[in-house]
Amino acid sequence: MSDNKTVGGGSLLIAWQLKNKRVAIVGGGEVASQRVDSLLATDGQIDVIAPSSGLYARCKKLIDEHPTRVTHIDKEFAFEDSEGGEVVGNVDLYAYDMVLTALDDAELSRRIVEACRSRRIPVNAADIPDLCDFYFGGQVRDGPLQIMVSTNGSAPRLAAMIKNKIREGLTGYEGEALTRVGILRNKLKERVPGIGGNLGKRRMKWMSGICERWSIEELAKLDEETMDRLLDSGWEKGIVLDPPRNQWTSIVSCACLCIVAVVVTKRYVLR
């Protein structure tokens, strides 16, 4: 593997938040259906702009199943006029925080991209990578865990295959572990509120200690009672408690050491 300190040529990997935001998908085919699927994982509102006649069964199903999240705007997107030098379509693009095109019409796709760009609306055109503000990628999701595999437009099929390999390499406990650790972090923040400073440093060190000392499977099984114990007998005393397994192992090891010490003392020292 080559060193990964690339300068330039890559894209910014971020987890875009869509709460209280509206996203338009222009098109209702196979790729549009995948886009709806991807967006359903977020908190964004989704408008699918496509004529009913061209709506694929999968897309229609997703619209029907999620009426509060997905709205179907039954029309063919078209540019009508230009106002003050700005092209205006039969859909108000300003109503959107993000636009995705998934069309079998590259020329229309290109014009939508241009209209979005002039309005500074982030846009993805499934068929014209060169014009995209951002790309989609292969996704692995498990609760709060989100892994995206991007090849920066080079090889989408390979992205999907690498994604499958990553998914196979996971234990299946990651999502639950992240949820549990999230609860513990919130409990700690409630107990010791405040941003930054020495307290922040202490909180971070303690949380990192828990994450490093407990296995993913152990964290996935962390119940609230144990969390409270970790905080009461751990955080309050400035220590990171080991998982119960390790505590038992320590007790058994201590007991064994004591027995060995007694035997050795009796045999060789008190002879």
Ligand X SMILES: C[C@@]1(CC(=O)O)c2cc3[nH]c(cc4nc(cc5[nH]c(cc(n2)[C@H]1CCC(=O)O)[C@@](C)(CC(=O)O)[C@@H]5CCC(=O)O)C(CC(=O)O)=C4CCC(=O)O)c(CCC(=O)O)c3CC(=O)O
- Using the rule CB under 6 A, is 103 a contact of ligand X? no
Could you tell me the two tokens for 102?
């998934």
- Distance between CA 22 and CA 114 in Å, rounded? 19
Binding to ligand NAI in span 94-153, by CB under 6 A: 102-105, 108, 126-127
Tell the smallest beta-carbon distance from residue 83 to ligand X (Å): 30
Contact status: 160 vs ligand X (CB under 6 A): yes
Q: Does 27 help bind ligand NAI (rule: CB under 6 A)?
A: yes
Residue 234 per-residue DSSP state: I
Q: Name the active-site residue from 105, 127, 133, 242.
A: 127
The question of whether 133 is a catalytic residue gets the answer: no
Choose, by CB under 6 A, the member of 33, 45, 101, 124 that binds ligand X: 124
**Binder to ligand X among 29, 143, 156, 175 (CB under 6 A)?**
156
Bridge partner list, 138: 149
Q: How far apart are CA 78 and CA 264, in angstroms?
A: 91
From the CB of 95, what's the least distance to ligand X, in Å? 22
82 Cβ neighbours under 8 A, 6+ residues apart: 88
Shortest distance, position 10 Cβ to ligand X, whole Å: 11
Interaction between residue 157 and ligand X (CB under 6 A): yes
Residues with a catalytic annotation lie at 127
**Residues lying near ligand NAI in the complex (CB under 6 A):** 26-32, 49-51, 54, 56, 76-77, 102-105, 108, 126-127, 156
